[in-house]
């Protein structure tokens, strides 16, 4: 689904427990982080950013990965049957998704800038006037287990 109104998206997420992301070799995948923040357990293809950057290449900690459609189907079935496992992952993800928020991003950028300046870097002018408060907010809703 493309360009779905955020309130409609949240309503759909509220009816789901699992988020299957079928895109291979994606760079990042913000929709995965949004789904995690809404309390869904992500199942992503074992390639690219979703697996490496979001799930940290750790099967079962923040979600699951698959290589084949059969493997994805098995993971979905297993999660449906194991509510306790799903709830544990959702609980871990409520903290994990904050690392992808605009506030976290701003802190990381400012830390990099300060580190650069502390090492004597002064030839680069950096404009920090961007209003991060205007950036889309993540994790501004919570999931019910």
Assign domain 6-134 to its CATH architecture. 3-Layer(aba) Sandwich (3.40)
CA angle 25, 30, 36 (to 5 degrees): 110
Contact 124, 93 (CB under 8 A): no
Return the pLDDT at 75. Answer: 97
Rg of the chain, C-alpha, whole Å: 18
**98-109, pLDDT tens digit by residue?**
888 888 888 888
Domains of the chain by residue range: 6-134
Partnered with residue 66 across adjacent β-strands are 45
Return the pLDDT at 31. Answer: 87
E strand or H helix that includes residue 18: strand 18-21
For 139, counting Cβ atoms within 10 Å of its Cβ (0-12 exposed, 13-18 middle, 19+ buried), the class is: buried
Measured distance CA(68)–CA(51) in Å, rounded: 14
Q: How confident is the model at residue 145 (pLDDT cuts 50, 70, 90)?
A: very low
pLDDT at residue 139 is higher than 70: no
Contact 22, 47 (CB under 8 A): no
Measured distance CA(39)–CA(91) in Å, rounded: 8
Please, what sign has the CA dihedral across residues 60, 18, 80, 22?
A: negative
Return the pLDDT at 6. Answer: 81
Average of per-residue pLDDT across 67-79: 97
Q: What is the pTM of this model?
A: 0.72
Average of per-residue pLDDT across 115-135: 63
Average of per-residue pLDDT across 57-63: 91
Task: Compare 64 and 113 and report the one with higher pLDDT.
Answer: 64
Return the pLDDT at 95. Answer: 87
**8-36, pLDDT tens digit by residue?**
888 899 999 999 999 998 888 888 999 99
């Amino acid at each position: 689904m493309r360009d779905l109104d955020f309130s409609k998206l949240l309503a759909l997420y509220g009816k789901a427990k699992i988020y299957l992301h079928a895109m291979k070799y994606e760079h990042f995948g913000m929709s995965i982080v949004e789904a995690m923040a809404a309390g869904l357990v992500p199942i992503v293809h074992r390639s690219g950013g979703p697996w490496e950057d979001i799930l940290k290449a750790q099967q079962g900690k923040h979600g699951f990965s698959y290589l084949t459609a059969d493997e994805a189907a098995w993971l979905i079935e297993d999660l449906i049957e194991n509510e306790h496992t799903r709830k544990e992952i959702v609980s871990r993800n409520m903290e994990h998704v904050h690392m992808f928020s605009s506030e976290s991003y701003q802190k990381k950028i400012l830390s990099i800038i300060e580190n650069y300046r502390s090492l004597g870097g002064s030839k680069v002018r950096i404009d920090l006037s961007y209003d991060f408060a205007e950036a889309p907010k993540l994790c501004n809703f919570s999931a019910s287990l």
